Amino acid sequence: MRIYQEADYDAMSRRTAAIIAAEVIRKPDCVLGLATGSTPVGSYRQLVAWQQEGLLSFGTVTTVNLDEYRGLGPDHEQSYRHFMRVNLFDQVDIRPDRTYLPDGLAADPEAECRRYDALVESLGGTDLQLLGMGHNGHIGFNEPGTAFIRETHVVDLTRSTIEANARFFQKKEEVPRQAITMGVGTIMSARRVLVAVSGADKAEAVRRAFCGPITPEVPASILQLHRDVVLVGDVAALSGMREEGVFQ
């Protein structure tokens, strides 16, 4: 695992964006696995700026997102499809028909999970999978539990995840209670995993994920078994790893 410690959120975002941009330049037809939430917003903003400056193109890139809320359509302002359009897709030269997310309105969610796994497999998997990390160590919406679930699946969101996402909704009661998420098997099949973390409130989750035992109680801990993980974090988010002596 490679670790990049940056001074603050802005520096972390630039480093993360640079790694993604390098992949796009290296392999113009790459498959990017993308994430939502507050952490990657700064990185997407930087990628938009570089693309608009003519420094890179997403014209032949394909993207697959980690997850989508169940019950929200693509035009709902809190859907992850909407998030991606606002923060990246509508501002760069990517083709809309090359951007994929699970269908949150699928009548048969189990069939949608199987379809999504087949789609990722048909694309040859992801070349680079971007991940954030929840306060409880979740990646995508793979929540703490008793077993790692390999395939894309429907998940009941934990109270902590619902509370963390409530800031995006007018009322906490409006936060969906379920989501469709890539499983850890699909995430682990990526040729490279890029984890971005920021803030002191993530320090304990990061420490447990990369310095503790591999356990489904900390879903991100499975990344210890991946052959190519890049961790980019600011000083505050990586403080727990420094205390463990992983680096100075």
In the set 65, 136, 142, 165, the catalytic residue is 136
- CA distance linking residue 186 with residue 219, whole number of Å: 13
Q: Taking Cα atoms as reference points, which of 155, 131, 148 lies closest to residue 230?
A: 131
Confirm if 229 and 193 have CB atoms less than 8 A apart.
Answer: yes
In the set 82, 87, 138, 165, the catalytic residue is 138
Active site residue 143: yes
Active site residue 76: no
- CA distance linking residue 26 with residue 24, whole number of Å: 6
In the set 6, 23, 65, 67, the catalytic residue is 67
In the set 143, 153, 165, 234, the catalytic residue is 143
Name the residues annotated as catalytic. 67, 136, 138, 143
